[in-house]
Amino acid sequence: MCTTTPATPDKLVITEKTLCYRSVRRHRIPLNLGSVSCADQAKAILQRLFESKPIEGMYAVALNSSGDFLGMVKVAEGTVDRAAVYPRELVSFLLVETSATAVILAHSHPGGKAEPSQEDLGLTTRLKDILLPLGVKVLDHFIYACSRPGKTGEWISLRERGDL
């Protein structure tokens, strides 16, 4: 409810804002979830989402301090070689919708090379710098190079590479 009463020296006007979220699309994927205690569990959750898409996409897996799965959101979907990521949407999901204290980021490289680009590394650093003061730790950022005929899909971890 918003008030339209003008402020005067003896009155303080308070305006309240209500956030409303509308589900745009739901994906149903059978998952055995509970605690996401290792990288392999996170990869299993995400691989099915990446495998069939010929375009780059980015997802975030929200976790609590015990490593329990709180939710997952598609952060971006783009073209064959890039996707625009808006930190505001990720922060809203992590803080408002899930109250997460940790996040695992993952995005795909549909072209088949899992090597991170300078943009990938810069985005990871930027998101980490935004989220850490808000009490959300970036546990890892995975890149998945989609499988192609004669080549299986490949995962890399920026944490394991020392880039996180």
All domains of the chain in start order, with CATH: 39-161 (3.40.140.10)
Q: What is the DSSP letter of 112?
A: S
How many CB atoms lie under 10 A from the CB of residue 85?
18
Q: What is the pLDDT of residues 56-101, one digit of tens each?
A: 888 999 999 888 888 888 888 877 777 888 899 899 999 988 899 9
Please say whether the beta carbons of 60 and 90 come within 8 A.
yes
Q: What is the pLDDT of residues 10-62, one digit of tens each?
A: 655 555 545 555 555 454 444 445 555 567 777 777 777 777 677 888 899 99
- Strands 69-77 and 137-145, how do they pair? unpaired
d(CA 36, CA 11) in angstroms, rounded, equals 51
Cα 19–22–27 angle (5° rounding)? 140
The confidence band for 127, taking pLDDT boundaries of 50, 70 and 90, is very high
